[in-house]
Structure 1
Amino acid sequence: MSELTAASIARPGIPALIGAWPQSRFWLLCADLYPALAAASLPWSTTAVSVFMVVWLLVIVPTIRWQAFLEALRAPASYLPLVFLALAFAGLSWTEDSWATGIQGVAPVSKLLAVPLLLYHYERSERGHWVLFAFLAACVLLMGLSWVTYFADWKASPGGLAGVPVRNYIDQSHEFALCLFVMAPLILSLAANGHRAWTFAFAAVMLGFYFDMRFVATSRTAFLYFPVLLILFAVKYLNRRHAIYFLMLAAVVESGVLLSSPYLRDRVGRTVQDYRVDRDTNVDRDTNAAAAATSNGLRLAYWRVSIRSISEAPVFGHGTGSTQQLFSREAEGKSGEWGNIVRNPHNQTLYVAIQWGVLGCLVLYAMWYFHLQLFRESLFASWIGLVIVVQNFISSLLNSHLFDFHEGWVYVLGVGVAGGMAARAQRLSGSAQARNRQV
């Protein structure tokens, strides 16, 4: 009888069982699975990404060991995204627009909350590669569908492009360029280890991404970051002589593709022509303003308006969400595309400076810098993170890609997962070296 009583006392109750769930294998599996599902959904759906990441936040919080997490937050790469988010909330107190509009201005920054959590989790998880492979597999599938719709001349919408089956060509180019440069060192490694079949398979996929960007659809922003990433790859993975030969070969290939691709020639020609059409936004609605509006002309007009607004409040800006009110005023009395109301000046620095002034820009550039510092080592995860940060920085010269949904989540997931993987590899390497010294 006494043994039964002792057994019943030792048996854990329902609260104890519930408390143990976050440390169970299934729960930890879910903590690794949901970011992978979000990455796989990223090329296809905004809703799925949001749902998976919200669920992941609910799953990951009970697994956190808060003392270790708070120690991890001492690193600038972890706490600066939170500082950025705190600044966005603080900006609500001096915004010139309504609080409802201000909350809409906080939304694009809120995704940065996931960065320190991802860094913390994937420094301790062995399944970071799930996220990377899930995103790559989704992009390979999208690339195949892109070629099918291109040859079938099928468009997702009346104003869309054949070869862009979902979302838009800017997001598609961003994904394909990222996958292309991530795969490049893998191909070198496979070739060096004599895996011919895998080398040819990965090379074929990489060429599929490349030719899709050159013959099917590409963004103007890719013209900026593509050569920079080529140079980074050559410097990081090739010796000086091979790097020179590689870059010369790349220049020859790009020239040949430009001559053989009517789409690319038209794209480059339109880009040059658009910048020549630089009209001021102060036009009457009775004029042919709509005919004069071009993509790059509008961008330059947004930049002029932004700079004028920043000069009025250079230190702390006009407050969170103030970009909508600014561009609404500028659109009044104008027709055509000049009359469209936008929130985005198509430059990340200007977008931040309008709302939070020089203070916001200091936080933005400090975050980019310290995230770049995460990826100094010669590791594959470090190369992935380096490509993501450089691509986001350069593309943010002509867009606000950190605040855009798709490119912003590519940055958050990429920096968080790759940064955690790189930190884990460095920690394990340091532990192994310490053990060897002891022996």
Structure 2
Amino acid sequence: MLFALLLFALLAIGLGYSAAEPADALDALKKYRELLLLPVMVSLLSMHRLAGQRAEQFFVAGCLTLMLISWAMALNLVPSERYGNSLLFHITHSFFMAVLAYWALIYAVNRQSRRLLWIAVFLAATANLFYIAPGRTGMFVYLCLMLLFIMQRLSRWKRLSAIALLVIALIGFYCTSANFSQRIELVAQEIAAYQPGQARSSIGQRFDWWMASLHLIAERPLLGHGTGSFLAAQQQQKWGSDMQPSNNPHNEYLFLAVQVGIPGLALFLAILLCQWREGLRLPPEKKNLMQGVLTALYAGSLMNSLMFDSHQGHFYLFMSAALMATGVEPPVPTDAVEKDSMAGPH
């Protein structure tokens, strides 16, 4: 947890030399409050185990509710909202459907009494992701989580068969789902049509922002350009004048390096690696879920700035804290310690 506090402190220091306006820089710092709250939540939940269990239960219930509403919209049982067949932006919705599918799969293999229920949830979440939700980030996260599940649960010889089945399933989705096939074909078209500095497509703009990030990191690799500085620093450069403006490069790793340099990126990676190591000490189900939370963050952060985004950032905060707290020994009451010392040796 020390690394999380150090990274937040580094971002706070970055306010002092940020290329952004003070109000914009401060707003960016607020987006990273998860770093400040993470050690607090782990400490609080470790003292109240039931609260950690309830946090996990309410998260799953929230994802189930989101999925059911999405299906109801798709089936015209309730009116669609501004985001189509979801209450959330499509990137956020697809991310949570991928996580819900993985969570349900872990529950299905560990909870025999309700195995059929969780298999049904897994299938419904998977179908919602590939047939209803247009978010490519969620589809990528889903693929990474399924590969993680295969590595976690299957022996070496069964892994190849499981990966083959996963590939067959993806081919099946491509052949039967216009939602999935059109999104994949659009990726290919956007990559083929990409022209540096002139892109207006989703993939093309990301390529521009990533290239801009690399230029900015090369300019100030140690300190970065300051907290919330991506848009201002990009606009100050001649090579970035034709790019679509954005307050972040849609890649958390590059975004942190632009803001607070390579040391900031190293601290972020250290946080994730330490959490992975701590997760190895958890009970089997919690260990698998913890690895799922981190893998979703690893994968999603390649395509979006997830710590900077509200929903995904708070998911990471609360779920990693709740799962880590299960591996922390609860404090021994003071009166119990005193009674044990007074009893003396037997």
Instruction: State the TM-score, normalized to the length of structure 2.
Output: 0.88
Q: Give me the identity figure in percent.
A: 21
Match of 2:57 in 1: 133
For residues 22-57 of structure 1, the C-alpha deviation after alignment (integer angstroms, 9 at most, x for no partner) is xxxxxxxxxxxxxxxxxxxxxxxxxxxxxxxxxxxx
Q: 5 Å matches for 1:157-172?
A: 157=82, 160-161=83-84, 163-164=85-86, 166-172=87-93
Is 1:423 the counterpart of 2:328 in the alignment?
yes
Match of 1:94 among 17, 28, 32: 17
- The answer to whether the 8 Å contact 1:328/1:342 transfers is no
Distance 1:330 1:148, change over 3 A: farther
Q: Distance in 2 between matches of 1:354 and 1:381?
A: 34
Q: Which runs of 5+ in 1 are unaligned?
A: 1-77, 284-291, 428-439
Is 1:386 the counterpart of 2:262 in the alignment?
no
- The answer to whether the 8 Å contact 2:20/2:233 transfers is no
Q: Which runs of 5+ in 2 are unaligned?
A: 333-346
For residues 56-112 of structure 1, the C-alpha deviation after alignment (integer angstroms, 9 at most, x for no partner) is xxxxxxxxxxxxxxxxxxxxxx11111111001111222233322321221111221
Please state whether the residue corresponding to 2:49 is helix, strand or coil.
coil
Match of 2:246 in 1: 342
Match of 1:258 in 2: 174
Please state whether the residue corresponding to 2:100 is helix, strand or coil.
helix
- The answer to whether the 8 Å contact 2:98/2:141 transfers is no
For residues 237-277 of structure 1, the C-alpha deviation after alignment (integer angstroms, 9 at most, x for no partner) is 22334433333222222221221111111011011111112
Match of 1:368 in 2: 272
Match of 2:219 in 1: 312
Match of 1:321 in 2: 228
Match of 1:399 among 304, 307, 321: 304
Specify the structure having the higher radius of gyration (Cα): 1
Match of 2:28 in 1: 105
- The answer to whether the 8 Å contact 1:384/1:414 transfers is no
For residues 192-212 of structure 1, the C-alpha deviation after alignment (integer angstroms, 9 at most, x for no partner) is xxx2xx222221111110100
Q: Distance in 2 between matches of 1:186 and 1:424?
A: 24
Match of 2:101 among 180, 183, 190: 180
Distance 1:108 1:241, change over 3 A: same
- The answer to whether the 8 Å contact 2:216/2:258 transfers is yes
Q: 5 Å matches for 1:19-418?
A: 78-127=1-50, 128-152=52-76, 154-157=79-82, 160-161=83-84, 163-164=85-86, 166-191=87-112, 195=113, 198-281=114-197, 293-329=200-236, 338-339=243-244, 341-377=245-281, 378-418=283-323
Greater length-normalized contact order (CA 8 Å, ≥ 6 residues apart): 2
Amino acid aligned to 2:293: I
Q: Distance in 1 between matches of 2:157 and 2:34?
A: 42
- The answer to whether the 8 Å contact 1:91/1:355 transfers is yes
Please state whether the residue corresponding to 1:316 is helix, strand or coil.
coil
Q: Distance in 2 between matches of 1:249 and 1:118?
A: 39
Structure 1 position 293, deviation (Å): 1.3
- The answer to whether the 8 Å contact 2:3/2:267 transfers is yes
Please state whether the residue corresponding to 1:221 is helix, strand or coil.
helix
CA-based RMSD? 2.2
Structure 1 position 298, deviation (Å): 0.7
Instruction: State the TM-score, normalized to the length of structure 1.
Output: 0.70
Provide runs of 4+ in structure 1 moved above 4 Å.
328-334
- The answer to whether the 8 Å contact 1:324/1:343 transfers is yes
Please state whether the residue corresponding to 1:167 is helix, strand or coil.
coil
- The answer to whether the 8 Å contact 2:251/2:305 transfers is yes
